[in-house]
Structure 1
Amino acid sequence: MTPIALSRLHFPITTLGPGNRIGIWFQGCSIRCPGCISADTWAVRRETTSVEAVIDVMDQWLPNAEGLTVSGGEPFDQPNALTELLQAFRHRSEADILVFSGYPIEKLVPHLERINGLVDALISDPYLVDTPQTKALRGSDNQRLHRLTALGETRFAAYDRAVQSGEKKFDLMMDADGTVWMAGIPARGDFEKLSSHLSNQHHTVLTTQDRSTSRARRGKPHD
């Protein structure tokens, strides 16, 4: 059984590609872009599950899934698990596969050649916090959308444009302990606005960005 370190797995996700999608976030990232909103996915943890176990969970969603989005963390830091996961998904579904990576595509060419067309669309390159944020599905405008297959061209050509106001939304997920996760591409300052609004309602908000900043101020490395 191939081990895989995951942050979370959810269905449906509607903000990271077209349609109702299965969302998978890998755990562990060697890139660690400053300002990343998913700093909680950086740590390389000892706890893992298996690709087979992930597929068992996904099987219940496949009849209604219109696509698969893989993010993180950094999926290509676990190339064997990523390959096996995508192969299993493709064996079960003809829906599109979108992968987010902080690596430039030029570094990923050997990986993409090995998985032989399994990735229909790829968003590559690191998040740059000081770069404009105007493009659909991208956190910063330096990031590139690559349509790698005919299916990717069909499903993602419409995203090679500026982000629209109606797309500025999030999917919300809640864990059993009350932790709320948001999936989507936030605009700069969105979390600050949310924190301010909830604080005015006498709620306390602590985001993964807050935790990251707090650790940095204490002189401790990020997880």
Structure 2
Amino acid sequence: MSTMVNLSRIHFPVTTLGPSRRIGIWFQGCSIRCPGCISMDTWVQGRGMTTVDDVVEAVSPWLSTADGITISGGEPFDQREALFDLLTGLRARTDADILVFTGYPWNRICDALAVSPSVIDAIVSGPFEIEEAQTLALRGSDNQELHLLTPLGQARFESFDRLIDEKDRAFDVMFDDNGDVWLAGIPARGDFRRLRHILEGSGSTLGISEDTRFPSL
């Protein structure tokens, strides 16, 4: 029987969360809930229930043209069994690189990786800290760490071990069947609020998923 997983959404192509054209898989549910998180909609547990086999089948038509896979959330390591079953299933079907974002610090997840080596090529680890600076590529705050775990991860992600630049300030835009719009990427502080103000100034409305209890710096 296939492992159950709570999933927020999948999308292809994603170009703002790693190199080239990527499959994006977002887990649903997060116990960390970093203050100022831009994805509060992925915090709630128990939403988007499906199976790992169904997720692998859903992304399979894209695997032949995808350069990589990015898994984020929510918090993937809150569903550790489902995460590693999914990684194993994807590895069996593609040689594309796999990047995972987690809010857990490295010392909380490294033991799990030792049990299943080589299923992840690179990891961005650590909670989003709204009081920290944001100067590094692929990271929402500078306390987060980029770990290159395999030779493929080294080849594909070494170029991201650098300061952020203007080409990193981009979003992928996704549209759901019900008309919701999703933005994939790593925004600068306050980008969502600035976008909302621009749209509201032209007579449109925009609901955002950012945790607005804390000011974006």
**Above 0.5 in TM-score?**
yes
RMSD value, Cα: 1.3
Counterparts of 2:177 and 2:123 in 1: how far apart (Å)? 32
Q: Which blocks of at least 5 consecutive residues in structure 1 are unaligned? A: 217-223
Percent identical residues: 52
> How far does residue 46 in structure 1 lie from its aligned partner after superposition?
5.2
| Count of residues in correspondence between the two structures | 213
Residue number in structure 2 paired with 1:55: 56
Residue number in structure 2 paired with 1:92: 93
Residue number in structure 2 paired with 1:19: 20
> How far does residue 200 in structure 1 lie from its aligned partner after superposition?
1.3
Counterparts of 2:92 and 2:73 in 1: how far apart (Å)? 23
> How far does residue 47 in structure 1 lie from its aligned partner after superposition?
4.6
Counterparts of 1:61 and 1:187 in 2: how far apart (Å)? 29
Give the SS at the match of 1:63: coil
Counterparts of 2:96 and 2:113 in 1: how far apart (Å)? 18
Compare the two structures and name the one with the higher helix fraction.
1
TM value normalised by structure 2: 0.95
Residue number in structure 2 paired with 1:219: none
Counterparts of 1:174 and 1:8 in 2: how far apart (Å)? 11
1:190 aligns with 2:191: yes
Cα distance, 1:46–1:175 mapped onto 2, change above 3 Å: closer
1:202 aligns with 2:203: yes
- Whichever residue aligns with residue 87 of structure 2, its letter is L
CA deviations 1:144-193 (Å, max 9, x no partner) are 00001111100000000011112200001011121100000000111111
Structure 1 runs of 4+ aligned residues shifted over 6 Å read none
Counterparts of 1:33 and 1:57 in 2: how far apart (Å)? 30
Residue number in structure 2 paired with 1:41: 42
Cα distance, 1:126–1:93 mapped onto 2, change above 3 Å: same
Counterparts of 2:74 and 2:193 in 1: how far apart (Å)? 22
Residue number in structure 1 paired with 2:143: 142
